[in-house]
Structure 1
Amino acid sequence: MPGRHLTDHQMRLYMTFRQTETIAVAAAKASFSAATAYRIEQDPRLPSAKAEPRERRRPDPLSDIFGHGVRRTLERRIRAWRALHGAESEVVFRQTHEPGRTGLSDFTDMGAFAITIGGVALDHRLYHFRLVYSGFEHAHVVLGGESFVALAEGLQNALWALGGALFEHRSDSLSAAFRNLDRDAREDLTRRYDDLCAHYGMTPTRNNKGVAHDNGSIESSHGHLKRAIKDALLMRGGADFADLPAYRHFIDEIVSRHNARNRSRIDAERAQLKALPDRRTSDYEEVGVRVTTSGGFTLRKVFYSVPSRLIGHRLRVRLYDDRLDVFIGGTPLMTLPRGRAHPSGKHAQIVNYRHVIHALRKKPMALLNLVYRDQLFPREAFRRTFDALLERLPERQACRIMVDLLALAHERACEAELAEALGDGLRADDLPDMTALRARFTPDPAKMPTVVVTLAPLQSYETLLDDSQIRDAA
């Protein structure tokens, strides 16, 4: 074809077809023109054999100094000079490891695996813990970056799975967690890390910044773990998981198989571990927030919606790696999924339509230009339905119908079923019929149980009393 070079593979195909076909037919089967085939008949060499070897395009300025073969001689001379007169090299000191003494923590990025949850890419990394002596490992999926919260949760999970504490815990200084923090924040982070280790009776240590082999016992383990994950994903046939717990279970299974191979050494090391304390220590940050008139609060550049009855109240929020526990005073209110701001610094939103649907019913046109409109829709079918309504109906009518749909999903607890019905309507190019949908998702009176309450006469309670109690009451 014009503009494409003939390949060796096409040439071989042509020569094979040419044994039984005419020139034109063989050329067509090899995907090039008959004119090219006639040129091949004149010169049957492969295209690679016809290519001219590439030579220098300009004169070599060092040709008068170094002749052929001089480069390798120069390299040997330089290497010998460095051995005699060069700078001293760093020495790696091999260590003897004692059982129950040292555990290592580090984070490793998982972006290369393209893990998805329900078809949506999962931006995450793994917290990785390892015992130096026995090779016991624990891995925890971290949704955010390297942080004290992620370290505290992952480390405590590892220690309680292990069944004991160590004498020394080493980390990589949490370099990513310290980035962009002021001096006071860094000192607070260091104090919290020291307190965490003190709670388990461990001595906190950090490897030297920029020296990878200081933490080599876990850095090399990252590669082994990632290869095991890669092989397991190939055997599984895909990197998409139904939900986050399924993916976490997948990681746990891989780590468990590795620990099973080292069971004897792990059992021997467990006998040397220190006893765990009676309880875990905090693995969260606690902050105070105030609910604004927007029906939510903003924390770390993320807006979270809450029930509007909380507007004006000050809440306590425990910030975990993957969730927020919300309290008013000492009373727990709810648990919210944790969100993260966009990499560009743009604010994000975590919105539950149930928190605002009562207000939207009074002001449905607010939906049109709502800042968090796309996050408000609980499923993709709702968003696509609103796009179809805006395309074919006036804005006011489209907003009214969409708000009614959200209210129907909330009041009748039929979010999944309604989304399926809306999807069927989109495929049929039909707009939602609210009358039909209300009738479809209205409870059937025939299926509702009939509850009959029979009240006993008050005199019947006297049979529970003996004669003496009745006389005393009289």
Structure 2
Amino acid sequence: MPGRFITDRQHEDYMTLRQHHTQKIAAAKAGFSVSTGARIERDPRPPSQKRRERRHGGGKPDPLAGLWDEEIVPLIEATPGLRPIAVLEEMQYRHPDRDLSSARRTLERRMRLWRAEHGPDREVIFRQSHPPGREGMSDFFDARALGVTIAGVPLAHRIYHFTLVHSGWEHAEVVLGGESYTALAGGLQNALWLLGGAPREHRTDSLSAAFANLDRDAREDLRTRYDALCADYGMEATRNNRGIAHENGSIESRHGHLKTRLEQALLLRGSHDFDELDDWRHFVAQVVARHNARHRDRLRVERPHLQPLPARRSCDYDEARVRVTSSGGFVFRKVFYTVHSRLIGYELKLRIFDDRLELFLGGTPLETLPRGRPPAGGRGGHGYVVSYHHVIHSLRAKPQAIANLTYRDALFPRTEYRRCWDALTAAGPLRQACRIMVGLLWLAHDQTCEAELAAALSAILARGELPVLGELRSRFTRTEGDGGPDVPVCIPSAGSYDDLIQGQGAAA
């Protein structure tokens, strides 16, 4: 076989066979080539007795003669991480008079063999057995590569991923922000309550992303909260060392499998675009559910080993306090949120989730706002979560304020309203455009006809016309007699209740 030396036994067999067979047959029976048999006949000494010289393959002289022991070995002993190409370039630099262009493969082979015999110790990965009910793992991965869009707009998001190591049961959900504690706590609890039990150990990465931009006290508080969360479910909180991905390998490998399943499901769907974010969330849940169906037998074995859940969920949100300014809202983490104007000057308590903010005045819940994100890469810029219902009363008294309003584009509830604003400002005086636009927003608010009015505006703009506020008011304003369909209500007589009471007495 090429690249392997013959043994003395093969040499002896060949010489014996050669007495009665041709060179070709004797070589075949001895297990080597005809050319090897010819070399034996030219030099009949056994291989163990032949003088061994360091030769390059094919009978060529060693291209590293005078360099390997003298220069290369001391170099790689002093710097073990050097690559063969770097060593070759260094030798060419030191010895420009030597042609080392054909020495690369020889050097790579020599260095590989030298490191196997004399190189530094390498890290050993110890394969683990995972008994049922013992370990669950959590991690996040960036899902932008999936190319998902919501109503045509690319969705920058991550996916939280939980798995039971023994059975392979998984849970995944969309995360709009980063790897925060709220995303981890919310996703983990959703997984455990869907599963119906908790493993004895929960493993994550080092949580360095969740601790980013936090001071020392805040990081310590976050660690305490995470440990308390795991304690509520009877789980031991463990983390792998920073930068050592294989310590969380049971879920790292499954990230790739989940990404592949999602990619294939999107290809089968024929589109990466979804009308609403909830449609994409439901799609991810369906893909994961089909995967879990294939692991139901292993889960049936593991489920009895899971710990029971506590009586109620643990806290999975952050808290903050903000004050509503005279602008009719507040700024939280570089995002401006509007609230009702009657709250100006009040301090509100926020419960911060990954996808929403819950507002409280003291202990009284007020409303829930979608969580906003600051513009990507924008220094000093703000995101906006604006509802025209909050400010339309004040804007109606000052319609010209809409012209240069900082969050004007975010104020329009639908694209039809924005297109209408562009058409009005392009066709007529700005003051008139402001009055008409504010009037349309007030009409949508007052008559609760936002969608119907948007459809009407779209039809008007498609005809190349401009909206006439008076006509739209008369069309969408409800009169007293137009309060909706008449619903007949039959009031039973008082005597019918006596029959019910008697019936209950007879049943007793």
Q: Which category of TM-score, normalised to the shorter sequence, fits these structures?
A: 0.7 to 0.9
How far apart in 2 are the matches of 1:370 and 1:357?
13
Q: 1:68 to 1:443 in 2, by over 3 A?
A: same
| 1:349 aligned residue | 384
Please give the alpha-carbon distance, in whole angstroms, between the structure 2 residues aligned to 1:452 and 1:275.
51
Distance 2:232 2:374 in 1: 32
Give the Cα separation in 2 of the matches to 1:209 and 1:290: 38
Tell me which moved more, 113-122 or 362-371. 113-122
Whether 1:113 and 2:180 are equivalent positions in the alignment is no
**What are the within-5 Å matches in structure 2 for residues 172-183 of structure 1?**
172-183=205-216
- Residue in 2 aligned with 1:23? none
Output the amino acid matched with 1:197.
C
For residues 416-448 of structure 1, what are the alpha-carbon distances to aligned partners after superposition, in whole Å with 9 as ceiling and x for unaligned? 111111112222221111121112112266654
> Equivalents in 1 of 2:271, 2:190: separation in Å?
28
| Structure 2 letter corresponding to 1:173 | S
Task: Provide closer, same or farther for how the CA distance between residues 337 and 453 of structure 1 changes in structure 2, counting only shifts above 3 A.
Answer: closer
What percentage of residue pairs aligned between the two structures are identical? Answer: 60
Output aligned runs, 1:238-387, within 5 Å: 238-343=271-376, 344-345=378-379, 346-387=381-422
Partner Cα separation in structure 1 for residue 316 and residue 488 of structure 2:
51
SS in 1 for 2:305: coil
Query: What's the secondary structure of 1:271's corresponding residue?
Result: helix
Aligned 1:118-197 pairs, distance under 5 A: 118-197=151-230
Task: Measure, in 2, the Cα distance between the counterparts of 1:383 and 1:418.
Answer: 13
Q: CA shift at 1:63, angstroms? A: 7.8
Q: Deviations over 1:130-171 (max 9, x none)?
A: 111111100011000000000000000010111101111011
Normalising by structure 2, report the TM-score.
0.76
CA drift at 1:115: 0.7
**Residues in 2 aligned to 1:263 and 1:375: alpha-carbon distance in whole angstroms:** 46
Cα deviation digits, residues 377-402 of structure 1 (max 9, x gap): 00111111111111121111110000
How far is the alpha carbon of 1:71 from its aligned partner? 1.5
SS of the residue aligned with 2:420?
A: helix
Work out the CA distance in 1 between the residues paired with 2:168 and 2:464. Answer: 59
Amino acid aligned to 1:271: P
CA distance in 1, matches of 2:277, 2:470: 37
- Read off the aligned partner of 2:169 and give its amino acid letter: F
Partner of 1:93: 126
2:358 alignment partner, SS class: strand
Q: Aligned equivalents of 1:64 and 1:222: distance in 2?
A: 53
Q: Tell me the equivalent position of 1:399.
A: 434
Q: CA deviation at 1:267?
A: 1.1
Over residues 249-281 of structure 1, what are the superposed CA-to-partner deviations in whole Å (9 max), with x where a residue is unaligned?
Answer: 110111111111111111111110011000001
Larger radius of gyration: 2
User: For the residues of structure 2 that align with 1:154 and 1:270, how far apart are their CA atoms?
Assistant: 20
Q: Distance in 1 between matches of 2:323 and 2:333?
A: 13
Distance 1:360 1:91 in 2: 68
Q: Which residue of 2 aligns with 1:427?
A: 462
Shift of 1:450: 6.8
1:101 partner amino acid: R
AA partner of residue 114 (structure 1): G
Separation of aligned partners in 2, 1:452 and 1:157: 45
Secondary structure of 2:230's match?
Answer: helix
Residue type at the aligned position of 1:319: I
Q: Give the TM-score taking structure 1 as reference length.
A: 0.81
Q: C-alpha separation between the residues in 2 aligned to 1:126 and 1:160?
A: 18
Q: For 2:282 and 2:432, how far apart are their aligned partners in 1? A: 46
The gaps in structure 2 that reach 5 residues or longer are 1-91, 498-508
| Distance across 2 between alignment mates of 1:151 and 1:422 | 43
Q: Secondary structure at the match of 1:235?
A: helix
Task: State the superposition RMSD in angstroms.
Answer: 2.2
Change (3 A) 1:69 1:237: same
**Structure 1 Cα separation of the partners of residues 203 and 159 of structure 2:** 17
Give 1:354's aligned amino acid.
Answer: H
Deviating above 3 A after TM superposition, structure 1's stretches of 4 or more consecutive aligned residues are: 60-64, 66-69, 444-455
Q: Distance in 2 between matches of 1:305 and 1:184?
A: 31
Inter-CA distance 221–391: structure 2 relative to 1 (3 Å threshold): same
Residues 288-339 of structure 1: CA deviation (Å, up to 9, x unaligned): 1111111111111111101101111111111100011111111111110000
